[in-house]
Every structure is written in structure tokens, then in C-alpha cells.
Structure 1
Amino acid sequence: MAGIADPKMKQLKIKTGVVKRITKEKFMYEKESQKEADKVEKMKAEGKDEYDIRKQQEVQEESQQMVPETMGRLRKGLQDLEAHMKQVEGDLKETDEYKLAVTVCEEARKAME
């Protein structure tokens, strides 16, 4: 079995962590964008100043623009992780870290839908 000092295992853990973090980021940006959009709608309904509404729309657009950028990083990270998994499958397939990587890949693919 591969130990933690094994460079293949270390890379698997790093790449799994990257994909996991970016998946969380994507959901966070989507949630933030929706929250800001709701805030804009509320401001419009309350008849707030047009300048304030425009500024809030800019904030919402910035959040929304982060989603595609994050999707690109997620796609790249997922490809990198999956390529590494193919390389180490023979050595690490039975490890908990490899099984975690499989789960993280599944979650990332769902997030990209």
C-alpha cells in the first residue's frame, strides 16, 4: 500500500482538495449572485434611488461573472484530477483517498451540469 510520503498519494490529495474547493466556490458564487439579484429586485420594489439600484446591479453582475470563470477552473481541475487518477489507479485504487477522489469527481461533474 502507498503511504502518505508517496508522491502519487500526495498529488492525489492535493488535486482532490483543489477540485473540492473550486466546487464549493462555484456554489458560493451562484448563491451570492442570486442573493444580490434578489436585493436589486427588492430595491426596485421599494422605489430606491436609480443610482443605488445601478450600483447594486453592478455588484450582482460581478458575482455572476465569477460563475463561468470558476466553471473553467473547475473543468481544468477535474481533468487534471481524473488524469492523475488514471495514472495511479493500479497502485491506489483501494485507498480511502482514491475513493474520496472518485466521490469528489462525481460531485464536480454534477456541479458542472
Structure 2
Amino acid sequence: MAENNKDLKQLKIKTAALKRIQKEFFGYQKEELKQNERIQKLKNQNAEEADIKKQEEVLQETVQMYPNIIGRLVESVNELQVWLDGKLNDPLIDTSEEKTKALEAITEAQDFLKANNPAQ
């Protein structure tokens, strides 16, 4: 029974990690929007070219994070799916609410990847 509790805990951790990575992507999207607004505001105020250029560099650094996050999200989806596949005959896992949450997280992440990753 202790092994099953450990498995449920692992499942919960892996599901939370998947959701956290997806949330991180949304955070970078918000940062990108804010940075674009900041740049436009500087341009509207006829700010120094160096200030605008610096903010554009910050924007570029934000955008460059997307491939990394997408890669980690794909890896997390695969890891969770493989883990679940390895527990197919475990009745405690099969009937758990955590498995339902994990499958929902996988589906949500796969849909997200299709919408946000042209390589998929």
C-alpha cells in the first residue's frame, strides 16, 4: 500500500510539473505583451534610440524562451504518458482522481502544443 501512495504522489508531482510549465509559457506571453507596450510607449514619447533598442533586446530575450518552454512541455507530456503507461495494471492508479487529472492535463497540453507549436 505504501508503494501505491508513493505512486499517487509521483503522479501528482508529474501532473503539477506539466501544468507549471504551461503556466510559465503564459507568463512569458504576458511579458511579451507588456514589453511590446513599453516599446510602443517609448516610441510614442520619442525616447532615446538606445532606450528603445535596449527594450527591444529585452523583448527578444523573452521571445527566445518559447522554444525552450515548448521543448520542456513536450518532454513533460511524454514523461507523464510513459509513466501512466507503466501503471496500466495498477488498480489504485487506474481508479484514482489523480489519473483523471493527469489525462486531462495531457490532453490540454497536447491541444496547447498544437495551437502554439507549428512543428507539431
TM-score exceeds 0.5: yes
The answer as to whether partners of 1:22 and 1:70 remain within 8 angstroms in 2 is: yes
Q: Determine the structure 2 residue equivalent to 1:45.
A: 44
Q: Determine the structure 1 residue equivalent to 2:80.
A: 81
Q: Which amino acid aligns with 2:109?
A: A
**Cα deviation, residue 24, structure 1:** 0.3
Q: Determine the structure 1 residue equivalent to 2:97.
A: 96
The answer as to whether partners of 1:37 and 1:60 remain within 8 angstroms in 2 is: yes
Question: RMSD in angstroms over aligned alpha carbons?
Answer: 1.7
* Stretches of structure 1 lacking an aligned partner (at least 5 in a row): none
> Compared with structure 1, are the counterparts of its residues 31 and 4 closer, same or farther at alpha carbon in structure 2 (3 Å cutoff)?
farther
Query: CA offsets per residue over residues 61-103 of structure 1, 9 Å max, x none?
Result: 1111111111111110110001111111332122100011011
**Cα deviation, residue 38, structure 1:** 1.9
Instruction: Give the secondary-structure state (helix, strand or coil) at the position aligned to 2:47.
Output: coil
The answer as to whether partners of 1:43 and 1:53 remain within 8 angstroms in 2 is: yes
* Stretches of structure 2 lacking an aligned partner (at least 5 in a row): 116-120
User: 2:3, 2:28 → 1: CA distance?
Assistant: 33
**Cα deviation, residue 19, structure 1:** 0.3
> Compared with structure 1, are the counterparts of its residues 41 and 94 closer, same or farther at alpha carbon in structure 2 (3 Å cutoff)?
same
Q: Determine the structure 2 residue equivalent to 1:21.
A: 20
Moved over 4 A (4+): 2-5
What TM-score do you get using the length of structure 2 for normalisation? 0.83
The answer as to whether partners of 1:29 and 1:63 remain within 8 angstroms in 2 is: yes
- Identity within the alignment, %: 35
User: 1:95, 1:77 → 2: CA distance?
Assistant: 20
Q: Determine the structure 1 residue equivalent to 2:118.
A: none
